[in-house]
Amino acid sequence: MKTIFGKLAFAISGVAIASTAYCGTYVYISNIEDADIAAYELTTGSSPHLNLVGRFPAGKFAMPMAVTPDGKNLYASVRSKPFSLYMYQIDQSNGQLKWTGAIPLPDSMVAVSTDKTGKWLLATSFGGHNNSVNQIQANGYVNPIPAEAFPSGGKNPHAIIFDQSNKFVYVPQLGTDEIKIHTFNASQAKPLSETSTSVALQKQQGPRHIVISDDNKFAYVITEMTGEVVVFSRDIKSGALTQIQAVSSLPSDSKLVPGRPRPPTGSPEATAFDDSNMIFCAEIKLTPNGKFLYTSERTKSTLSGFEVNPQTGKVKYLFTIPTEEMPRGFNVDPSGQFLVASGQKSDKVSLYSINQANGELSLIERVAGGKGANWVTFVKTK
């Protein structure tokens, strides 16, 4: 492993593309087939544009990414053997990535997340049904020995996120149709509680990803197999969730049928899985001002938009538009004015403007992307 990583560090030195040296907004997209991370600068003003900064090597099936709160370090989970976490420093002047090493992960981790202190990295495994916690050192290097590793308490967890207070962690369990709720204390040696409470969803909904409103009052879940946005109110003191709404993310004329759990990405079973007419939702994101919410569906390759009522937390379906083929990942930029979508079966990346009055998405451009694009992460450098 050391030899492979050493060669990788050498290779990285030649792939960066020169870019203007000033602070700005950058977007990173992991490409599972090209085994790299593409970095773009988002320039705004009268002519918004995605400018390629560079392509930075990573392991094959590098997928979920996480960034420290200060925007200085990026981590990518590699879901091919040997399962590992690749670590990079983000050049604050131009967005380029400097590879700083790799550490082993206990399993194929489908999601990684950093806490709001920047001291802890959490991960969860879809196929292994477990969670892990690693400490992040002051220089951004992640301790290779987990502080914690334990079963997720459900089946097929697909995300692991913090609430805005950094006191609670939410882990949707796609295979058991529930969301596990853990307490978190960043000052403890073992910060994540192994015990958890849970909230149940309907059978075969398949809760996949979750986002929490900036005011910490509401949580929004996209269900992979039924294509619904499930809205929960949050008890800020206990972290408990209470369902208040479920709305389809599909257009009324959709002919898709409910899906079923997929085998882990990269497995032989996944290659033979026929999902040609099944609902296959993936991502969910809120705009920073909480006014609009977006979801993606991979079978028909679409993005859907919703209006959010800030008082009640409830959503109203607005539209569905076509996008890049198999949009596993997309994200909203920190200003809330733009959305970037990639496609796992597309060699292009789409940049959209977000209408601040009605949430409408307008395509600005499509730029060259990598093969197997999936995770999309924004960083605003200081």
* pLDDT for the residue numbered 303: 99
- Strands 25-31, 36-43: parallel, antiparallel or unpaired by DSSP? antiparallel
Tell me, rounded to whole angstroms, the distance of Cα 351 from its chain centroid.
Answer: 17
Neighbours of 235 (CB within 10 A): 12
Task: Work out the average pLDDT over 94-116.
Answer: 98
Distance in Å from the first CA to the final CA of the chain: 34
Neighbours of 365 (CB within 10 A): 13
In this prediction the pTM is: 0.92
Q: What residues does 220 pair with on adjacent strands?
A: 211, 231
Contact 62, 55 (CB under 8 A): no
Give the model confidence (pLDDT) of 316-364 as tens digits: 999 999 999 999 999 999 999 999 999 999 999 999 999 999 999 999 9
Contact 292, 282 (CB under 8 A): no
Looking at the chain, the whole-number percentage of residues with pLDDT higher than 90 is 89
Residue ranges of domains in the chain: 2-380
Tell me, rounded to whole angstroms, the distance of Cα 323 from its chain centroid.
Answer: 18
Give the model confidence (pLDDT) of 195-249 as tens digits: 999 999 999 999 999 999 999 999 999 999 999 999 999 999 999 999 999 999 9
Closest listed residue to residue 79, CA positions, set 208, 265, 262: 265
Q: What residues does 286 pair with on adjacent strands?
A: 293
For the record, the structure tokens of 347 come out as 């060699």
Q: What is d(CA 293, CA 267) in angstroms, rounded to the nearest whole number?
A: 32
Phi-psi region of 36 (alpha: psi -120 to 50; beta: other; left: phi over 0): beta
Q: Which residue has the higher pLDDT, 113 or 274?
A: 113
Q: DSSP class of residue 174?
A: T
Show the 3-state SS of 262-309: CCCCCCHHHHHCCCCCECCEEEEEECCCCCEEEEEECCCCEEEEEEEC
User: Does domain 2-380 bear CATH number 3.30.160.150?
Assistant: no
